[in-house]
A and B are shown apart, each in its own frame.
Chain A
């Protein structure tokens, strides 16, 4: 009987211990997140000011300067990437959702997952080999190609998933009215899944906007303004990398400010998308 009581005590103690351990490990993970954000704000906020947003990088030794050209560069590269990546990614997603119930569809789905797992540095090498070697020089365009390759699988899988959420009866209703399939897909299925697809696009932006590795030897970076897609161009993550890797205190401060700016843009996008779009869409269903 005493043995039984002890066993019961041991089992309950183990149960409590497991709960405490799981809870504290979870707290550690969430705490790490807070630590990262706290340091970004503490270290970055003081240097993140109007000058930072409107000026170009200053040479070593001169105080001030900013990352205005890097912001523009990031936007330009993202625009090029969207122009190339959106049609392919969304088109492939439509194919998978509407026509992809066959072996080819399975192969494409699988390939998109493979592509999603390719390390970003390898994508950078490929864009280098494809565009930079062919063109003979580094360019914003090659950076756009690299990011486009990264966007495609994210968009494909997301678009497919969102289109599949549209009930089959909606498509059947459209067919029943004699509306051709392409028109059904464009005006009805896509329109119904619009919020989800836009969410996917924004998440894809948020994902690739912070990518540094694919831009290292494609966009290359630039300390001056550049507006041409055919020239090396600055990008926010690239400049953060250069500054962080430098031995200068002033540049470290700039790196923190850039990191804070980048995280505000990315996490802001992610949070807004998760909270507003997804909730509205899932709620409407």
Chain B
């Protein structure tokens, strides 16, 4: 009985013998060999120190929680402070300027904003049908034994780091696009003006495709979650009216899940905008605004990754950090929007009932 109880849950009758052990860290002077009798004699002090410990514990956890808030504040403050030089020099023209000439000290972020927007849009155009198809197939169509393996495979896609997508895209995807896909696109779609000019491989198209592969898992796993919370009776009602399975999915399921799927897509957009390493390796890193998707481009994240270590003077560095600040603000707005939309569908459903 005198030993300090290590596992109070397994010996409930020793519960109050915890007292001495509880108060020990607070510096009260009980010895470890205290018995039950002394515990009850010390009850008032025990209660007091208990109160302090509980408050202390809650306080510690609160500090950890507040640190999370502080981190975001710190991010904003650091980015703003470090980019102030460029902001003072160029003001808002920084975001509309086309010239990016570090040598003469001229910085305009437009080519990077354009590249980020175009590569992300392209990625969404490719990824959304694929991701939604996977989600619909897994939740509504696929035979039971295939369900787990397919979800697991898409989750594994999400676990692959950006740099590995980059290496794969650089050595496998880029040559593939150059040799087989680009000629086809040029032959049949050159009228659109989007697929013209020489194709060196490193291009907006390559960036769009690799980012698409990277955001498919995010979009499809959240879509799956959203589809899973569509009430079963919606499906049953559609089927009872004689709908085929596809009609049931289209009218009973997808229509109900639409805001959530849009949210998933926007979340994917948030990820696409900030994607760095894979894009840096395949986009071609050339600060130009070209209409052709086969031409090389540059993105906001890529220019930071690529040029920050070469940025020798303060203005150059602060211009790059300002691009980072812009990227931060845009992704946050996009993410908040997406969370609200997903939440509008899945709210009220307990977390355990989601997925699968």
Contacts and interface: CB of A to CB of B under 8 A. Distances in A.
Contact of A22 (B60, B141, B154): B141
Interface string B22-59: 10000000000000000000000000001001101110
A194 interface: no
B129 A15 contact: no
Contacts of B142: 23, 26
Interface-central residue, A121, A123, A220, A240, by most chain B CB under 10 Å: A121
A237 B276 CA distance: 13
A132 B277 CA distance: 21
Contact of B78 (A11, A130, A207): A130
B172 A39 contact: yes
Interface string B171-187: 11000000000000000
B238 interface: no
Contacts of B9: 174, 187-188, 191
A191 to B, nearest CB: 8
Nearest to A221: B309
Interface in B108-146: 129-131, 133-134, 136-138, 141-142
A259 to B, nearest CB: 5
Interface in B147-205: 150, 152-157, 159-168, 170-172
Contacts of B162: 120, 210-213
Interface stretch (B95-103, B226-234, B239-247): B239-247
Contact of B335 (A107, A117, A262): A117
A117 B332 contact: yes
A21 B137 CA distance: 9
B157 A14 contact: no
A283 to B, nearest CB: 14
Given A98-B61, A118-B328, A174-B9, A22 B153 contact: no
Given A108-B69, A212-B163, A266-B160, A119 B274 contact: yes
B68 A152 contact: yes
A213 B137 contact: no
Given A14-B244, A256-B167, A266 B133 contact: no
B237 interface: no
A204 interface: no
B65 A91 contact: yes
Contacts of A210: 160-164
Interface-central residue, B79, B130, B137, B138, by most chain A CB under 10 Å: B137
Contacts of B74: 126, 130
A217 B161 CA distance: 18
A114 interface: yes
A266 B157 CA distance: 11
A114 B332 contact: yes
Contacts of A118: 75, 274, 328, 331-332
A213 B305 contact: yes
A92 interface: yes
Nearest to B169: A36
A98 to B, nearest CB: 7
Contacts of B163: 210, 212, 237, 240-241, 244, 259, 262
Given A91-B64, A210-B161, A33 B156 contact: yes
Interface stretch (A59-67, A223-231, A267-275): A267-275
Contacts of B320: 125
A67 B237 CA distance: 60
A91 B168 contact: no
A263 interface: yes
B65 A119 contact: no
A119 B339 contact: no
A149 interface: yes
B81 interface: yes
Interface stretch (B12-20, B85-93, B290-298): B12-20
B63 A91 contact: yes
A259 B8 CA distance: 47
Contact of B171 (A43, A105, A174): A43
Interface stretch (A50-58, A75-83, A175-183): A175-183
A87 B61 CA distance: 9
A177 B154 CA distance: 46
Interface-central residue, A113, A179, A188, A256, by most chain B CB under 10 Å: A179
Nearest to B140: A22
Given A14-B244, A94-B64, 20 more contacts: A18-B245, A22-B133, A36-B168, A92-B65, A96-B65, A114-B336, A115-B72, A118-B75, A121-B276, A121-B327, A125-B308, A130-B78, A174-B9, A182-B56, A183-B8, A183-B18, A241-B163, A244-B170, A259-B168, A267-B160
Interface of A: 11-12, 14-15, 18-19, 21-23, 25-26, 28-30, 32-33, 35-36, 39-40, 43, 87-92, 94-96, 98-100, 104-105, 107-108, 111-115, 117-126, 128-130, 133, 149, 152-153, 156, 161, 164-165, 174, 177-183, 185-188, 191, 206-207, 209-213, 216-217, 220, 237, 240-241, 244-245, 252, 255-256, 259, 262-263, 266-267, 270-271, 274
14 contacts: A23-B137, A91-B64, A115-B75, A123-B75, A125-B324, A126-B74, A129-B321, A177-B8, A180-B54, A186-B57, A210-B162, A240-B164, A263-B164, A270-B159
Interface of B: 7-9, 12, 15-16, 18, 22, 50, 53-54, 56-58, 60-69, 71-72, 74-75, 78-79, 81-82, 129-131, 133-134, 136-138, 141-142, 150, 152-157, 159-168, 170-172, 213, 216, 220, 244-247, 249, 270-271, 273-277, 281, 301, 304-305, 308-309, 320-321, 324, 327-328, 331-332, 334-336, 339, 351-352
Q: Which 7 A-B pairs rank lowest in CB-CB distance, beginning with the nearest? A: A119-B274, A210-B161, A91-B64, A182-B57, A25-B133, A117-B335, A177-B15
